[in-house]
Amino acid sequence: MAKTKEKTPSQILSVQFDDTLARTVGSATYKQLRALRKDPTIALARQLSIAPILAAPWSIEATKDAPDGAKEFIDVQMAPLRMHILRTGFLGCTDFGWQSFEKVFELLPSRQIGIKKLKPLLHDISRLLVDRSNGALLGIKQTLAMGNDITLSTDEVLVLYIDVEGTNWYGQGLLEIVKSTQDDWDKANDVAKKYDNRIAGAHWVVSYPEGTAIHNGKKDVDNFEIASDLLNTLESSGKIAMPTGAKSLKDSIDRDLGGGWSIDLLDDGGPKQFSMVARMKYLDALKVRAFGMPERAILEGQFGTKSEAEQHADMAIINMEVRHKVVVQLVNWHLVNQLLRFNYGPEAENTVFISPAPIVDLVLEYIRSVYSDILKSPDGILVIADIDVKAMEDQLGIPSKESE
């Protein structure tokens, strides 16, 4: 009797991964999106859109049901990875909508399973794998050189994404949003270059009568050749000699060559170039908005006030906080819970989690803390330092009797 062949883990995985998720039809290639990062405005907005998130610390929190030592274990495991996860993850999500990491685990001396590192995976050779029946994310497939494929399950890979629609786990990259605006900016810039080269400069026009004249000591020189010599002289040096007594360059040439000659300078006196600059500034503002930031928060001000610019910056920070929480939630679901399950059992899931700190003005927080201490013990703290309480109240927006 033949033995029934057991299914190995790899065989089970091959059955699960029955389909790959295609990127949205019409999406720009990764090469095209990377080229956008060379634009100075996009480069600035791209970095500023993640900088406050990178500066916001994480705290590890636990519920009352958390196993003993689980909170400390997760803190030790995740603290070294925070900057790597946030910077690489947010840049990948900002550029392309998603970012994947291969999880590399290790056996610790305590006999616990820890996360050794997270290896970022290239978007170009990676495709997301989904369950065809319900669209659930199952992992990724990488196509390497020579056509070899590597399949990684969600236990082996961490996938971060932003602005997912339904089960399209590729999300919505911000560079994809800004691409059409950048295309318009490039077209406007090309038109401006052509305008500068062909129209914006001044042009000499020499009108001449038909016939011949004496020129440079030669008789019967065709007037066309004389006009060409005049133009060459004007274009090469912009200078021409004119005898005393001539009221204009035309009088000078008429005196030497006879009537019917004229020289005019055509230049651009219209506002066309100004309109091009205004259009390109408008497109720059749109590029900044694509990154979730009102342009007044980072570009040069024009008609607004400093207070208004600060309000715009606050709106951008709120948007950043939301994105930060979304990504941290994915890390909790697919990495923190996995470590808890490996080391403390499935019942430990969701008992320990990462909580991102708000992106706030740290100086304002310090002032608020000191003011709170003053209210608790005014005599004691005022003895320690000579503090301007009125100035603190002004910064915190607390009304006083003098201002009423």
CA atoms within 13 A on the CB side of 276: 16
| pLDDT of 78 higher than 50 | yes
Average pLDDT over residues 159-172: 92
Reduced to 3 states (helix: H, G, I; strand: E, B; else coil), residue 209 is coil
Instruction: Evaluate whether residue 285 is within a structural domain.
Output: no
Please give the model's pTM, rounded to 2 decimal places.
Answer: 0.67
Average pLDDT over residues 136-151: 88
**At 262, is the pLDDT very low, low, confident or very high (cuts 50, 70, 90)?**
confident
Residue that wins the pLDDT comparison between 48 and 10: 48
* Lowest mean per-residue pLDDT among 43-57, 95-109, 274-288: 274-288
Which residues pair with residue 60 across a beta bridge? 354
Largest Cα separation within the chain, whole Å, is 123
> φ, ψ for residue 27 (rounded to 5)?
-65, 145
Q: Do residues 37 and 95 make contact, with C-beta atoms less than 8 angstroms apart?
A: yes
Q: What is the pLDDT of residues 281-315, one digit of tens each?
A: 888 888 888 888 766 555 555 445 444 445 556 66
Average pLDDT over residues 80-104: 96
Q: How many domains does the chain have?
A: 3
Q: Do residues 70 and 213 make contact, with C-beta atoms less than 8 angstroms apart?
A: no
Most confident of 18-22, 57-61, 163-167, 334-338: 334-338
Residue that wins the pLDDT comparison between 133 and 244: 133
User: Are 219 and 144 in a shared domain?
Assistant: no
**At 232, is the pLDDT very low, low, confident or very high (cuts 50, 70, 90)?**
confident
Q: Which residue type does 51 have?
A: A
Residue that wins the pLDDT comparison between 43 and 359: 43
User: Are 235 and 170 in a shared domain?
Assistant: no
| pLDDT of 6 higher than 50 | no
User: Are 152 and 32 in a shared domain?
Assistant: yes
Reduced to 3 states (helix: H, G, I; strand: E, B; else coil), residue 23 is coil
User: Are 233 and 117 in a shared domain?
Assistant: no
User: Are 55 and 158 in a shared domain?
Assistant: yes
Instruction: Evaluate whether residue 118 is within a structural domain.
Output: yes
User: Are 100 and 25 in a shared domain?
Assistant: yes
Residue that wins the pLDDT comparison between 250 and 376: 376
Instruction: Evaluate whether residue 134 is within a structural domain.
Output: yes
Instruction: Evaluate whether residue 192 is within a structural domain.
Output: no
User: Are 86 and 99 in a shared domain?
Assistant: yes
User: Nearest 5°: CA angle at 102, between 352 and 118?
Assistant: 60
Residue that wins the pLDDT comparison between 376 and 77: 77
User: Are 374 and 247 in a shared domain?
Assistant: no
d(CA 81, CA 79): 5
User: Are 34 and 134 in a shared domain?
Assistant: yes
d(CA 178, CA 173): 9
User: Are 156 and 14 in a shared domain?
Assistant: yes
Which residues pair with residue 262 across a beta bridge? 207
Q: What is the pLDDT of residues 326-342, one digit of tens each?
A: 999 999 999 999 999 99
User: Are 39 and 143 in a shared domain?
Assistant: yes
Instruction: Evaluate whether residue 275 is within a structural domain.
Output: no
User: Are 137 and 101 in a shared domain?
Assistant: yes
> φ, ψ for residue 162 (rounded to 5)?
-135, 150
d(CA 39, CA 284): 10
Predicted pLDDT at 246: 46
Instruction: Evaluate whether residue 18 is within a structural domain.
Output: yes
Q: Which residue has the tokens 């925070």?
A: 82
Which domain-ending residue is among 322, 337, 356? Answer: 356
Which residues pair with residue 352 across a beta bridge? 62
Which domain-ending residue is among 230, 251, 267? Answer: 267
Instruction: Evaluate whether residue 195 is within a structural domain.
Output: no
**At 268, is the pLDDT very low, low, confident or very high (cuts 50, 70, 90)?**
low
Provide the mean pLDDT of the chain.
Answer: 78
Instruction: Evaluate whether residue 307 is within a structural domain.
Output: no
Which range marks the domain in which residue 124 is found?
Answer: 9-176+312-356
Q: What is the pLDDT of residues 192-230, one digit of tens each?
A: 887 776 655 566 777 778 878 777 778 878 888 888 887
